[in-house]
Structure 1
Amino acid sequence: MTTSPNFLVIGECVADVVRADGAPDRVHPGGSPANVAYGLARLGRPATLLTQLADDAHGRLIRMHLEGAGVVVRAETVARTPSAVVELDGDGRAQYAFDIGWTLGAAEVPDAPGYVHLGSIAAVTSPGAETVLGIVERLRGRASVSYDPNVRPALMGERAVAVRRVERCVALSHVVKASDEDLAWLYPGEAPESVARHWLGLGPAVVVVTLGAAGAVALGADGAREEVAARPVRVADTVGAGDSFMAALLHARAAGTPLAVCLAHAVTAAAVTVSRPGANPPSSAELAAALGSGSLSRQPR
């Protein structure tokens, strides 16, 4: 497998304070774009994260986590590292309460990335979102752009404004991934595949919708439609599952893998992640092992 060209991921880091009944709080490095960069590095892809961090305990934890996997961290200094209290229900599903701002200013961009990924809070939150979109607009003619809205309703503001911001990002992208929950908030009452077709009309080559326990479906601008079932797994929690899916999808596409196989890799990576606590995506060896097995059991962190 070639490890070039590089991935540039732009977006927030967040310290996830995971809280469940009867258990002490656990702090995990998080933030959707940071998780994608980490997941790519774990799969052997050179990844640079353009972000914001403070020189505080959470910031040092996140930097050590990312750099330990091989991510190159280019961080603008802020006063406080963003955080989120993550409440888990009895099925391990996560709800988030954020303490975050996004103010990324003029940023030095690594030379000639082959892939650029944006998403989540950093793609739609002013004033930093304008910096992000400006970078993407400059690079999209010579890099493949991917986007995951990773909708956080508490931070999205008025729905109509949020939809316009999200659709601007979709129109800049070649590959888009969203969950059925993202689409339900953005477009209430519309079927996920109907929204995916609408998004294809804005410009992407591929739109992928994750469907939780029902798997995932991908639509291509060339008329292709691929669907894959979820992998059976005992869930520890769902933190980072969508980001792990995204990283594995991008990893497989960068290798020229057919779309149906990309989906199989992505749902398998997500299954490994939900089988253990926190946003803990698989390494290339773990993903290969999981792809070769018929089912997944809980794996240690």
Structure 2
Amino acid sequence: MIVVAGEALIDLVPSTATPPEADARLTPLVPRRGGGPYNTALALGRLGSPTAFCSRVSTDGYGGALLDALHAAGVDTAPVQRGPEPTTLAVAEVNEEGSAGYVFYVEGTADRLFELPAALPPGTTALSLGTCSLVLEPGATAYEALLRREAQRGVFTALDPNIRADLIADPDAYRARFASWLPHVNLLKLSVEDAAWLAGSPDVAAAARGWLAAGPAAVVVTHGADGLGVHTRDAAELRVPGVRIDVVDTIGAGDTVNAALLHRLAAHDALSGAAVANLTPDTWRDILTFAARASALTCSRAGAEPPFAAELA
């Protein structure tokens, strides 16, 4: 079983419908389920991977809707903690290319109060973490403790920092904290923009070499419409192209990549650091191509709506 840990929230996405007497400064917003880890869990469930979600979710109506979609995708929500605090909101602004920026409303929300669980579900083979949950305290410390504990137990760990710079009060302190996680991470996945932000340099290849030396067996970097690539200790970056598609928006695209990577690694019986380190270029090409196809389908529809297994058959 793959466990995904982190926040679940509601994205408020600009509506494509124009209401009567519309004011261009007051674009109507449509609520959609979201949060990087939540989207990853949903995508894994839709792909058919045995998946559980570990988080703290509000008992409000939004929280109920978030869990309903996970149940529909076959995701186990037994590890989810519940609380009366409101659900986190993320207001999305989508540009002409479909890329989204966010303003977060996080004060006093349920997911920030996550506490370290006594144990993950029996049969857990992999743990995926990332995004706001590793920034916002006090929950961030609990998620960090979960990463370290499960890595020590031999669970395969995947990390997507998914940087939200507006939420990071001290960038240098966050970069140092990120570096402290790497010895406990088997697979690091991040966008080229996040890689440059974390490295403080546009030389992503050099940054990847440094991160690989610190612990991960592989670093996967997404390049938007230009595809994605993997850096390993033994070879230069292996790249696959993106899939051309009519983009509605890119919300959830990177989260879908997370899920597709884990799903395909599991299909190759490669959910261990040693197995990932020994993957052949052909196998990596298969894994990355699958992730590119899955991500493209997410970009073809509004909001974070990852594909089902049948759409990728």
TM above 0.5, yes or no, is yes
- 1:104 maps to 114
- 1:42 maps to 46
- 2:101 maps to 95
Q: Distance in 1 between matches of 2:209 and 2:232?
A: 9
- 1:15 maps to 10
Q: Contact 2:158–2:185 (CA<8 Å) still a contact in 1?
A: yes
- 2:82 maps to 77
SS in 1 for 2:214: coil
Q: Contact 2:135–2:167 (CA<8 Å) still a contact in 1?
A: no
The share of aligned pairs that are identical, in percent, is 34
Where does 1:160-239 land on structure 2 (aligned, <5 Å)? 160-223=172-235, 225-239=237-251
Q: Contact 1:248–1:269 (CA<8 Å) still a contact in 2?
A: yes
- 1:291 maps to none
Amino acid aligned to 1:120 = T
Q: Distance in 2 between matches of 1:234 and 1:119?
A: 28
Unaligned runs of 5+ residues in structure 1 are 1-5, 289-301
Q: Distance in 2 between matches of 1:170 and 1:260?
A: 24
Cα deviation, residue 254, structure 1: 1.0
User: Deviation per CA, 1:160-206, whole angstroms, max 9, x where unpaired?
Assistant: 11111222233311011000111222233331212111110110001
Amino acid aligned to 1:104 = F
- 2:145 maps to 134
Q: Distance in 1 between matches of 2:301 and 2:55?
A: 26
Q: Distance in 2 between matches of 1:106 and 1:213?
A: 37
Cα deviation, residue 270, structure 1: 0.6
- 2:290 maps to 265
RMSD between superposed Cα atoms in Å? 1.6
Cα deviation, residue 265, structure 1: 0.5
With normalisation by structure 2, the TM-score equals 0.86
Moved over 4 A (4+): 20-23
Aligned residues: 283
Of 218-227 and 153-162, deviating more is 218-227
SS in 2 for 1:279: coil
- 2:275 maps to none
Q: Distance in 1 between matches of 2:32 and 2:134?
A: 22
Q: Contact 1:124–1:166 (CA<8 Å) still a contact in 2?
A: no
Q: Distance in 2 between matches of 1:13 and 1:202?
A: 30
Which of 259, 266, 286 aligns to 2:311? It is 286
Amino acid aligned to 2:13 = V
Which of 302, 307, 310 aligns to 1:277? It is 302
With normalisation by structure 1, the TM-score equals 0.89
Q: Distance in 2 between matches of 1:224 and 1:43?
A: 30
Of 241-250 and 192-201, deviating more is 192-201
Amino acid aligned to 2:267 = A
Cα deviation, residue 86, structure 1: 0.7
Q: Contact 1:253–1:259 (CA<8 Å) still a contact in 2?
A: no
Amino acid aligned to 1:77 = R
